[in-house]
């Protein structure tokens, strides 16, 4: 997909009503096919992350409109939205935020809808008025245009394949829509257990937020299906040469309360006796991932076990241990049982989502209706032995290191590199929207200078017919220097009014020096740190005093002191030149 225009009719976070952003402009469309990420730059608090969040929130709303399964809280809310009555409660309106918007983008026409009279690329517009459901229009189709909205089935086919989020550190601004969909995915699976329905093995919702919970799954999936280009990415910078071994631990049944027993089909709940004679109720949480019968060879647990070097089931705790000593034979087994690295990851992703099983319905409903940035803090964290799935003994091969390197021992920067680029590698052959919020914060300067190059490397061997859109927020001048002005969006927030605006740079950013970018885009003229500036200021004041009544000898002594105290910089050179010029003037 290729984004064209975003307009918000009502305030969203720090973005004001009427905020509008043009991505791919009319005169740039001929050059839209080559991959080039949008780089959103600007000072802290200017609204960069809010732009990513509003895009995630819009597609979250669209997912909720078109999903086959919705939890009761959201299903009821969607029903309210289709009525003509205004929303009564403020908190109900919050889950629809933004409540008024327009979003336009280009996306390939699905094969089933392609005709001789339609173009191969659809110009799609999603429009939402306050209190109403969003509608999708196919603007460049003769039978649709802006007056005939697409049907539910057709509209779903014109959404991006996936909306993928990544955020560094503790910034949770971007994660809220994704976090809600993660619980929808959990509820969808639990619903299939309670109603004894078939389950497809992967979530229907197509949002994925790659946080710490998925780090090891990203790494395993990429390195099991390693290709030369994937391995080269990891080897060149991090020194990772491959995957040596790992273990997957699966807890096949979990304890529920007596009050929950009636939620499940008769005979589904297992009843054990505790040491004190009390009853312990368990459900086989992974039932939908086990074979329906001995002829079923497609069940996920069976496929994972077929790929394992060895396996062991602890009957007392109902825990399955799968050990993998990674060899060509093991990689071949994975290739025979999973279509791709993305297929493997999505299977692991759903298992990892089940680690949220302890969250009760009341807390989930509160989360679904919340607009708070702190919902993640209310979710309980389970001890390792109560998780449905966990990874252990994940050992990497690393260049120049003979001892085993455990993935847990990697630095923050190494983790961030492997997982931000690993996400792009997994989904590179999908028509997806990638929202990367400051993905390079833990990188050293060398890695930051190469990040755009590495992104390009991730996608250069992808299917050339695939269109994906990547947005990256940053404070790093290197990312701007590796981008053309058309792909750089400079975000500013007016201090007095709070108005957020976005503009293209008024200079050629591609290949521009870091100093120029720092000055022109971030408004910082100094090339030295704040403490050094204080030192420089004190030395300038001493010179000004000497310039009134000092001798050349004193000025020369001051120059020697400046040389001794300060390293090389433009500011130092200018100060010394000013002092020398004053001495030349006195000689005249």
Output the DSSP codes for 10-63.
Answer: S-BTTBPTT-EEE-S-GGGGGG-SS---EEEE-STTSSHHHHHHHHHHHHHHHH
d(CA 586, CA 263): 94
In the sheet where 20-22 sits, what is the strand order?
20-22, 2-8, 101-108, 121-128, 135-138
3-state SS, residue 93: helix
Distances from the Cα of 60 to the Cαs of 174, 396, 397, in angstroms? 12, 36, 39
For each successive 10 residues of the chain (588 residues), what is the average pLDDT?
A: 94 93 79 80 90 94 89 69 39 63 94 77 94 92 89 92 82 77 91 89 84 88 82 81 94 90 88 85 93 82 96 93 96 95 94 91 82 68 90 90 85 87 90 92 88 87 80 93 94 92 94 88 77 87 84 88 85 85 69
Q: What's the pLDDT at 90?
A: 36
- Residue listed under structure tokens 């260049």: 399
What six digits make up the tokens of 431? 């028509």
d(CA 345, CA 55): 24
3-state SS, residue 157: helix
What six digits make up the tokens of 150? 């697409």
| Cβ proximity of 413 and 216 under 8 Å | no
Q: Which of 51, 57, 31, 321 is nearest to 179 (CA)?
A: 57
Is residue 210 left, alpha or beta, with left meaning phi > 0 and alpha meaning psi from -120 to 50? Answer: beta
d(CA 392, CA 322): 10
Half-sphere exposure of 226 (CA within 13 A, CB side): 20
Dihedral over alpha carbons 357, 363, 367, 372 (to 10 degrees)? -120
Measured over all CA atoms, what is the biggest interatomic distance in the chain, rounded to whole angstroms? 105
Domains assigned to the chain: 2-185+410-505 (3.40.50), 253-285 (no CATH), 530-587 (no CATH)
| Cβ proximity of 131 and 97 under 8 Å | no
d(CA 249, CA 313): 10
What six digits make up the tokens of 320? 């399955």
- Residue listed under structure tokens 């920067």: 413
What six digits make up the tokens of 312? 């062991």
Q: Which of 496, 332, 361 is nearest to 324 (CA)?
A: 332
d(CA 163, CA 168): 17
Q: Which of 39, 23, 370 is nearest to 172 (CA)?
A: 370
Distances from the Cα of 267 to the Cαs of 198, 288, 293, 358, 502, in angstroms? 17, 16, 18, 22, 60
């Amino acid at each position: 997909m290729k984004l064209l225009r975003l307009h918000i009719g009502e305030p969203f976070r720090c973005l004001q009503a009427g905020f509008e952003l043009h991505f791919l402009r009319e005169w740039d469309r001929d050059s839209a096919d080559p991959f080039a990420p949008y780089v959103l730059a600007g000072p802290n608090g200017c609204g960069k992350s809010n732009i990513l969040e509003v895009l995630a929130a819009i597609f979250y709303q669209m997912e909720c409109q078109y999903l086959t399964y919705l939890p009761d809280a959201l299903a009821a809310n969607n029903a309210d939205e289709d009525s003509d009555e205004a929303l009564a409660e403020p908190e109900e309106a919050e889950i629809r935020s933004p409540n008024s918007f327009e979003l336009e983008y280009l996306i390939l026409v699905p094969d089933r809808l392609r005709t001789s009279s339609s173009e191969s690329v659809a110009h799609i517009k999603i429009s939402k008025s306050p209190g109403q459901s969003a509608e999708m229009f196919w603007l460049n189709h003769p039978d649709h245009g802006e007056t005939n909205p697409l049907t539910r089935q057709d509209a779903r086919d014109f959404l991006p394949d996936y909306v993928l989020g990544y955020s560094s550190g503790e910034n949770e601004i971007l994660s809220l829509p994704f976090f809600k969909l993660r619980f929808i995915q959990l509820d969808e699976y639990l619903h299939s257990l309670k109603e004894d329905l078939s389950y497809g093995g992967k979530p229907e919702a197509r949002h994925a937020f790659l946080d710490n919970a998925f780090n090891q799954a990203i790494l395993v999936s990429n390195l099991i299906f390693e290709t030369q280009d994937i391995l080269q990415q990891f080897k060149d910078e991090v020194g990772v040469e491959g995957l040596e071994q790992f273990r997957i631990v699966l807890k096949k049944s979990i304890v529920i309360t007596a009050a929950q027993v009636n939620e499940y089909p008769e005979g589904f709940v297992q009843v054990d006796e505790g040491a004190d004679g009390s009853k312990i109720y368990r459900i086989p949480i992974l039932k939908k991932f086990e074979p329906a019968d001995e002829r079923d060879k497609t069940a996920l647990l069976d496929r994972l076990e077929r790929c394992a070097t060895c396996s062991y089931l602890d009957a007392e705790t109902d825990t399955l241990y799968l050990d993998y000593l990674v060899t060509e034979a093991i990689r071949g087994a994975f290739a025979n049982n999973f279509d791709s690295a993305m297929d493997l990851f999505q299977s692991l992703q759903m298992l990892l989502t089940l680690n949220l099983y302890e969250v009760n319905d009341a807390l989930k409903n509160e989360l679904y209706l919340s607009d708070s940035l702190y919902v993640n803090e209310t979710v309980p964290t389970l001890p390792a032995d109560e998780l449905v799935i966990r990874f252990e003994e994940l050992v990497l091969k690393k260049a120049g290191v003979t001892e085993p390197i455990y993935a847990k021992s990697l630095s923050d920067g190494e983790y961030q590199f492997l997982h931000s680029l690993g996400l792009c590698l997994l989904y590179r052959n999908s028509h997806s929207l990638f929202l990367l919020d400051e993905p390079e914060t833990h990188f050293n300067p060398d890695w930051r200078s190469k990040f755009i190059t590495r992104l390009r490397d991730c996608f250069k061997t992808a299917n050339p017919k695939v269109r994906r859109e990547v947005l990256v927020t940053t404070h790093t001048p290197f990312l701007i220097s590796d981008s053309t002005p058309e792909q750089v969006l400079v975000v500013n927030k007016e201090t007095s009014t709070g108005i957020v605006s976005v503009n293209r740079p008024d200079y050629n950013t591609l290949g521009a020096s870091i100093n120029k970018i720092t000055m022109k885009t971030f408004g910082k003229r100094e090339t030295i740190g704040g403490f050094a500036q204080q030192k420089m200021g004190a030395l300038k004041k001493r010179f000004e005093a000497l310039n009134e009544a000092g001798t050349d000898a004193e000025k020369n002594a001051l120059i020697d002191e400046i040389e001794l105290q300060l390293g090389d910089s433009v500011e130092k050179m200018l100060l010394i030149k000013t002092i020398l010029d004053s001495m030349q003037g006195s000689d005249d």
